Structure 1
Amino acid sequence: MTTIIPFGPQHPVLPEPVSLKLEIDNDIVVGALPSIGYVHRGLEKFIDTKDYNQTTYICERICGICSALHGITYTRAVEKLFNVEAPERAQYIRVIVGELNRLHSHLLWLGLFADGFGFESLFYECWKYREGVLDAAERITGNRVIHSISKVGGTSKDLSKEHIDMLLKLCDTLEPQIKNIENVFVNNYTVKKRLVGLAPLSKQLAYEAGTAGPTLRGSGNAIDSRDTPDWNIYKDLGFKPAIEKDGDCYARTKVRITELYDSIKIIRNAISKMPAGEIAIPIKGFPTGEAIIRTEQPRGEVVYYVKGNGTKNLERLKIRTPTFANIPSLLLMLPGVKLADVPLIVLTIDPCISCTER
């Protein structure tokens, strides 16, 4: 005989209001059904009241963790409507800020994951290193969370020599710090005992379920929006997707750690190759037509669809976030696992309900 129990939306391990109805037999999960809508804000409809420039700030407020990449993706989509490209220097600045966003998001996640194991000191260590990233972002953009550096036509702020020196120093400092915590997440006996072989997702199933981000690449799929024509600049920065083949919780953890090193490498390469010049071009008129842009957020691919009708307001804004894509694969992972393992499995997709429900 099975029992239905609620998991979330409030749970000591969960940073987000994830709500699942779990069907269990003794302590084994045999089925799961998600329940969403707790933090729905109607932001896609709210853009009716704002012009296309003001909408940038709405998009950045979809999520506090990946706000910069939401703003960057939206502004690139509107630029596609205008059939213009931001100056090359602005594109490099967007890459640098986007990778800072990825660094702080992954370090935040590693801290929360450590907390899920009960490793409180490791939690504080991860978040201490994250503070350095947030300090750098604040010095560049003026804010720790909502950066507002990307605008239609380019960026609102440039990188000075002091900013560049600070970023290079951050990279030099952060690399050994990541090595310090990597040893625990990769080699610790307790971590490996809990994660290796837990909730495996095959390469084919992960692809067919529409999975995104580290969850997808942890199953051996070398799919990353940074490796597509949607953002050609990454090809010049020596980027290659980080993948693991086992598809379990341990593999998804290793992908995120590898991506921390990749982000540091990308920032260094972007600084060395960033050209001089303008950071923005003037945009005249109002957007018309349709455009779709994809960007790789920390949790996976985000898709922005925009439709302009020749007025200052967009006719339609539609966003597909990575957590929305990863929830179906989460439901495939849960049957057959112990109830005690559910919190860790949920954390490995790094859910963001704020993004999902908007």
Structure 2
Amino acid sequence: MSEVIPIGPFHPALKEAAHFELEVEGEKVVGGDFKFGYMHRGIEDLATKKSYHSNIFLAERVCGICNTVHSTCYTQTVEALMNLDPPQRAKYIRTIVFETERLASHLLWFGVGMHELGYDTAYMYLWREREHVMEIMERLCGKRVNLGINTLGGVRRDISPEIIDFINGKLDIVDKVIEKTGKIINEDRILKSRVKNIGILPKDEAKKLCVVGPTARGSGIDIDVRRDEPYAAYSKMDFQVPLEESGDILSRVLVRFKELIESTKIIRQSIKDLPRGPISLEELPFPNKGEAFGRVEGHRGELVYYIKSNGTNRPERVKIRTPSVVNNSSLLYMMLGEKLADVPIIIASIDPCFSCTDRVTIVENKSNSRKTVLLSQLKRRRNN
């Protein structure tokens, strides 16, 4: 006999609000449903009420850990509307900041994953060592989060020789952190037993669900916007796109681990080949009337921005498709047939970004019993 186990919207295993209703038989997940907010906080509508410049800061606040990802995608899309080509030095600086933020995101994700597995020693170690990456971002941009480095036609801050020396020194430390992380992944048998052959997403199913980023590459789908449609300075970078075929949690772990190595390589190449010249354009034309579409390879996968201009200083329409919108759809498939105890690490394995979900608690006066329901369920109850 099966029963329904609610997880969320607020739950220790979830770092943001999401609602899962899992049908289980004993410890085995046999079905379920979920509800997400799809990142809707009125940001797209608010963007139509602000200028193109002001929206750079709004885009950064779509996601705290991916703030440069969003501002880069937004500025590149607006630059396409303006027919702008930023200076080469600005493109290289964008690449450096972009990959530094990827390092910070992946190390944070590794720490969260270790915590979900109960491996808090590794969790504390990874988050402590992640501070070296945060110090790089602070030296580059003057801030640790919401970096504010991008502007239309370039970047706001230049990189001095002293900053380059600082980055190189910190990257040497990060290399050792990555090496130790690799040993934890490859040599800890208990850790491997919790992630190998768990939460499998086969390649064919991954294609049907249109997953992106490390989730797709962990299932053998060879896609990466940085290589397939280069932006910033990626066309001049020599890097590999990590790929794993098994589709389980371990595959997604290995993809992100290998991306740590590639990110340090890209940062070093960008610093070594950093061209001279200005970091931004002095004059900006007025946006042309029309439409533009931009995409970048975020830490969780492909991020898409669509902007429609009516010829004024404010966009007529801004549409944002975050990677989690498509990746989240794969979670239920990964959970089917797995143990309920593995659900938290399965959810964490795609590094989801949830928005808030409506919920209330109903107290039955007669029985004094409580149950959690969605707002839609409450409306049906009221109508009945």
TM-score range, shorter chain: over 0.9
Provide the C-alpha distance between the structure 1 equivalents of 2:31 and 2:132, rounded to a whole number of angstroms.
41
TM-superposition CA deviations, 1:34-86 (whole Å, max 9, x none): 21239742111111221011001000001110101110110000001111111
Cα distance 1:261–1:38, how it changes in 2: closer, same or farther (>3 A)? Answer: closer
How many angstroms apart in 2 are the aligned matches of 1:262 and 1:356?
36
- The answer for the alignment partner of 1:173 in structure 2 is 173
Query: What TM-score does the superposition give when structure 2 sets the normalisation length?
Result: 0.90
Asked whether the equivalents of residues 287 and 314 of structure 1 are also in contact (C-alpha less than 8 Å), the reply is: no
Pair 1:78-2:75 in alignment:
no
> What residue is the counterpart of 1:245 in the other structure?
245
Distance 1:328 1:109 in 2: 19
Counterparts of residues 143-182 of structure 1 (less than 5 Å) = 143-182=143-182
- Structure 2 CA distance for partners of 1:91 and 1:290, relative to 1, 3 Å: same
Name whichever of 342-351 and 41-50 sits farther off: 41-50
From the superposition, tell whether residues 287 and 20 of structure 1 become closer, same or farther in structure 2 (CA, over 3 Å). Answer: farther
Report the secondary structure of 2:233's partner residue: helix
Give 1 or 2 for the bigger CA radius of gyration: 2
1:109 is displaced (CA, Å) by 0.4
Is the Cα contact below 8 Å between 1:218 and 1:243 reproduced in 2? yes
**Residues 35 and 357 in structure 2, CA contact (< 8 A), matched pair in contact too:** no
- What corresponds to 2:286 in structure 1? 285
What are the ranges of 5 or more consecutive residues in structure 2 without an aligned counterpart?
Answer: 359-384
1:278-319 deviations in Å (ceiling 9; x for gaps): 111121223421111111111111011111110011001101
1:16 and 2:6 matched: no
SS in 1 for 2:278: coil
Aligned counterpart, 1:300: 301
Partner of 2:329: 328
Q: Which residue of 1 aligns with 2:53?
A: 53
2:38–2:325 contact (8 Å) kept in structure 1: no
Find the residue that maps to 1:64 and give its secondary structure. Answer: coil
- TM alignment of 1:135-284, pairs within 5 A: 135-231=135-231, 233-281=233-281, 282-284=283-285
1:94-138: CA deviations, max 9, x gaps?
000000110000000000111111111111111111111111111
| CA distance, structure 2, for counterparts of residue 268 and residue 251 of structure 1 | 26
Which residue is 1:134 aligned to? 134
Q: Is the 8 A contact 1:219 1:245 kept in 2?
A: yes
Superposition deviation, residue 27 in structure 1? 1.6
**Matched residue type, 1:125:** Y
Aligned residue number for residue 317 of structure 1: 318
> Which one has a larger percent helix, Structure 1 or Structure 2?
1
Number of aligned residue pairs: 357
Give per-residue Cα distances to partners, 1:206-260, cap 9 Å, x unaligned. Answer: 1221001111000111101111224273232112211111110001001101000
Amino acid at match of 1:169: G
Paired with 2:247 and 2:357, the residues of 1 have a C-alpha distance of 23
- The corresponding residue for 1:92 is 92
Shift, 1:263, TM fit = 0.3
SS of equivalent to 1:353: coil
CA distance in 1, matches of 2:321, 2:230: 16
Q: Which residue of 1 aligns with 2:362?
A: none
| Displacement of 1:8 | 1.6
Asked if the contact 2:59–2:74 (Cα under 8 Å) also holds between the matched residues in 1, the reply is yes
Comparing 283-292 and 137-146, the one that deviates more? 283-292
Q: Secondary structure at the match of 1:49?
A: coil
Higher alpha-carbon deviation: 199-208 or 290-299 = 199-208
Distance 2:102 2:262 in 1: 10
Question: For residues 45 and 23 of structure 2, what CA distance do their matches in structure 1 show?
Answer: 35
Does the CA contact (< 8 Å) of 2:309 and 2:315 recur in 1? yes
How much has 1:30 moved relative to structure 2? Answer: 1.4
Displacement of 1:356 in angstroms is 11
Shift, 1:334, TM fit: 1.2
Q: Is the 8 A contact 1:324 1:356 kept in 2?
A: no
Distance of 1:207 and 1:40 partners within structure 2:
25
Cα distance between partner residues in 2 of 1:279 and 1:267: 17
Moved more, 223-232 or 343-352: 223-232
Superposed CA offset, 1:145-203 (max 9, x none)? 00011111000111111111111111111001111122112321111111111121111
Structure 1 regions of 5+ residues with no counterpart?
none
Tell me the CA shift for residue 332 of structure 1. Answer: 1.5
Please tell me the root mean square deviation across aligned C-alpha atoms, in Å: 1.7
Partner secondary structure for residue 30 of structure 1: strand
Question: How many Å separate the matches in 1 of 2:351 and 2:296?
Answer: 17
TM-score (norm 1): 0.96
Instruction: Identify the range of structure 1 (335-344 vs 287-296) with the bigger mean alpha-carbon deviation.
Output: 287-296
Mapped partners of 2:111, 2:233: distance in 1: 31
User: Is the partner of 1:278 in helix, strand or coil?
Assistant: coil
Q: What secondary structure, in the 3-state scheme, does the structure 1 residue paired with 2:308 have?
A: strand
Query: Counterparts of 1:170 and 1:307 in 2: how far apart (Å)?
Result: 41
The verdict on how the C-alpha distance between 1:355 and 1:323 changes in structure 2, with shifts beyond 3 A counting, is farther
